[in-house]
Amino acid sequence: DAKTTQPPSMDCAEGRAANLPCNHSTISGNEYVYWYRQIHSQGPQYIIHGLKNNETNEMASLIITEDRKSSTLILPHATLRDTAVYYCIVRLRYQTGANNLFFGTGTRLTVIP
Amino acid sequence: GAVVSQHPSWVICKSGTSVKIECRSLDFQATTMFWYRQFPKQSLMLMATSNEGSKATYEQGVEKDKFLINHASLTLSTLTVTSAHPEDSSFYICSATKQLGRAGPSYNEQFFGPGTRLTVL
């Protein structure tokens, strides 16, 4: 799977948008971009994923550049409960059997009151 | 839904004892479950792949005789840490794979349990 690069930490003011970048310059054409987050002492939580189009759900928006070499996860109105480590992962979607989620170091987002 | 539970959520044990952690998929059947370990301020590291009815596949550096995995049913996998020592203290997380995509090509997604914090004194 392609490697990803994320900033180790970011701060965001409560109520403002949090924009978390991810570089994945070696992503292949059939690999998806997935985002998970892990709140302290909990298991990872799926947020959103995409292939090449921008995606939005009730939690966040995902913006993928046209060349697919980078993406940004946007939390439109960050709350204190969004404080967590956010992981950007690129993976093949249509793959059975073997594990296809490799967690890097992620970005530790701290939402400040 | 796709809910995965773990039991216990935390456990404290004495050095030399064995501890069993259960991972259950509550509302779906999972042919494959994964076990991860996470040390403080570090990322998740895959320990092993657990397939129902067959032996688990361990990642390099993980002792299979120390971390016993049993996947006896499509909804339950257990991880037993044998003769636990303080260095085994960690956050253990399981995930279960669910097959999705009935309308198109099928694919598997992982759903994670809440984790089990093991402290070995």
pLDDT at B104 over 70: no
pLDDT at residue A1 in the model: 56
pLDDT at position B31 is 80
Mean per-residue pLDDT, B35-54? 91
Q: What is the mean pLDDT of chain B?
A: 91
Q: Residues of chain B with pLDDT > 70: what percent? A: 95
Res B119 pLDDT > 70: yes
Distance between CA atoms of residues B76 and B25, nearest Å: 7
- Element holding A92 (H helix, E strand): strand A84-92
Please name the member of A45, A99, A105 whose beta carbon is closest to the beta carbon of B34.
Answer: A99
Interface mutation target, options B108, B116, B118, B119, chain A, most CBs of A under 10 Å: B108
**Residue B38 and residue B45: Cα distance in Å, rounded?**
6
More confident residue, B117 or A3: B117
Q: What is the mean pLDDT of residues B28-47?
A: 92
Query: What is the share, in percent, of chain A residues with pLDDT greater than 70?
Result: 93
By Cβ distance, the residue of B4, B6, B110 closest to A101 is: B110
Given this model, what pLDDT does residue A101 score?
Answer: 81
| Contacts across the A-B interface (CB distance below 8 Å) | 45
Helix, strand or coil, per DSSP, at residue A73: strand
Whether B76 has its CB under 8 Å from any CB of chain A: the answer is no
With 90 as the cut, is the pLDDT of residue B24 above it?
Answer: yes
In SS3 terms, chain A reads as CCCCECCCEEEEECCCCEEEEEECCCCCCCEEEEEEEECCCCCCEEEEEECCCCEECCCCEEEECCCCCEEEEEECCCCHHHCEEEEEEEEECCCCCCCCCCCCCCEEEEEEC
Residue A3 has pLDDT above 90, yes or no: no
* Residue A83 C-beta-side C-alpha neighbours within 13 Å: 11
Which residues make beta-bridge pairs with A20? A73
Question: What pLDDT digit, counting tens, does each position of A46-73 carry?
Answer: 999 999 989 999 999 999 999 999 999 9
Task: Determine contact, residues B98/B30, Cβ cutoff 8 Å.
Answer: yes
